[in-house]
Amino acid sequence: MAPIVDDAGNRLGELWVDGVQGDAVLARLQADAALLASLTTLEDEVESLADALAETEDQLLALYELNKVDSGRLDIDRLLHGLVQQAMRLVKADAAFVVLTTPSRIVRSPGLTTPDPCLIQLFERVRKAGSEILLRDTALAFGRTNGKGNVFIVPLPLRERCEIIAALGLWLDRPASTLSPALKLARSIAEQAGAQLEIVLLHEQLVAQARLQTEMELARMVQVSLLPQRSPVVRGLDIYGTLQPALHVGGDFFDYIVPDDANGRPFTFVVGDVSGKGLPAALLMAMTRTNLRSIALRTANSTPASILAQANENLYEDFTKVGMMATVCIGQYDPAGGKLTVANAGHSPVIICSSGSAARLLEADGPPLGVLPLSLWHNTDIPFQPGDVLVVATDGLNEERNSRSELFGMDRLLRQVDRLSTTSSKDIADGLLSAVAQFDTDATQDDDQTVVVLKAC
């Protein structure tokens, strides 16, 4: 007889042989028993390896399924709902939830009625801990009961973020000692979901950027297409206008209304700035510009003040609805009388530089369009003799900031007009823009910059 004993010393059985005797036989019998014990141990190991393999295979299959579901989901809400659903199914959890902080989202499995603040509190614990947490014997409001179970919360790792912004929570109502494989799988799911979330967040960021860019391109297109294509030829005047849109297009515009010789109406110029940026400002600008042009062309004996009054009457309600306003300076030129007639709805800067005098600011005579339902503007006659210069710009010039946050300001602008006043209208406009650009060599242009120059000749 020889005992069959495994490596741990457990007696598994005995090996018997009958009818033979001797030391050689006993030695053979013991060797056979040892071989049997060894085979039994190996069989146990094979069984345990097969179990582990099956588990790994299950996990791989689960992750494959999760990946299959997630692929092509570039929408955060759909991704998070899919994650909750799949995590619950794969881990065999009783409930699941996801908390995402930026953008703010909470998604929970059906029946999980735990209020948002409690889930956020659980998320905050993970965020503060900086890693996963397992809360044993914890209550989560689930359906109509407040059942207790193990709550496992694991962060979704995002490589591009320094802090935790998302976590997956699972409620597992089974003994804690049996949780190990489920937690392992949950970690893998969180890792997979983190990578997917990173792609979705990046995609959303790119879409937002593309949308903004498209909007700005549209705004720029609206703005540029409505500008006069060339300077008009008006006897006695040298005219030049230019507009440099900012990156985030503003609401600047200028326009010339050149009369038909037959109708006897004066040459009219308009410079305006609608508050705000982007497409809303561009649309309001287009509306304001068309309104002014239409009034100037169709109303008999219109003057700058009467055009402003009519435009305010037409546009006041629309401006009020969208919370915007527009500064507008309108002028008409009378070659016979050698004068300009100007009305100004809150527009600045408007600069006059008469020959031999220093440049000075002309103040507005009423508030911008869209502010009050009243007509507060009046016509001001300004003598305009050869050599005199009128500069109507927008606040994008005087409010340009340099790297030290200093404004270009009105004084610098006036000094530049003084310096340039003996040159042509184009040289004055280009010289002013160039002075502003030199002042602000580092920073980007914050607002549209428009300059219209009239010079009597």
Partner 1 sequence: MQINLQQLETMPGTEQAVAVVGLAGRFDAHEVPHVRQALTQAADRTEGRVVVDLGGVNFIDSSGLACLVQGMKYCRERGADQILCNLQQPVRIIFELTRLDRAFKIAGCVEEATTTLAARNSQN
For the record, the structure tokens of 390 come out as: 């009128």
With CA atoms as reference, report the closest residue to 135 among 118, 117, 149, 156. 149
> Is residue 323 a contact point for partner 1 (CB under 8 A)?
yes
Smallest gap, in angstroms, from Cβ of residue 448 to partner 1?
11
Return phi, psi of residue 406, to 5°: -85, 145
Among the residue ranges 234-242, 290-298, 306-314, 318-326, the one whose residues contact partner 1 (CB under 8 A):
318-326
Q: Does residue 7 bind partner 1 (CB under 8 A)?
A: no
Q: Per rule CB under 8 A, is residue 103 in the interface with partner 1?
A: no
367 lies in the binding site for partner 1 (CB under 8 A): yes
407 touching partner 1, by CB under 8 A: yes
Alpha carbons 274 and 188: distance in angstroms, whole number: 54
Distant-in-sequence, close-in-space partners of 323: CB < 8 Å, separation ≥ 6? none
Q: Specify the residue, 49 or 372, whose C-beta has the smaller distance to partner 1.
A: 372
Q: How many residues bind partner 1 (CB under 8 A)?
A: 29
Contact letters for partner 1, residues 217-256 (x by CB under 8 A): ----------------------------------------
Binding segment (CB under 8 A) for partner 1, from list 8-16, 114-122, 156-164, 316-324 = 316-324
Site map (CB under 8 A) of partner 1, residues 373-402, x = contact: ---x------------------x---x---
- State which of residues 167, 179, 182, 324 lies at the interface with partner 1 (CB under 8 A): 324
Among 289, 293, 347, 455, binds partner 1 (CB under 8 A): 347
Rounded to 5 degrees, what angle do the CA atoms 167, 173, 174 make?
A: 115
* Phi-psi label, residue 154: left if phi above 0, alpha if psi -120 to 50, beta otherwise: beta
Rounded CA-CA distance 264/300 in Å is 10
First to last CA, the chain: 131
| Residues 6+ positions from 316 with CB-CB distance below 8 Å | 369, 370, 373
For residue 34, the SS3 value is helix
Asked if 346 touches partner 1 (CB under 8 A), the answer is yes
Could you list the residues that contact partner 1 (CB under 8 A)? 273, 275-277, 320, 323-325, 327, 345-349, 361, 363-368, 370-372, 376, 395, 399, 407, 447
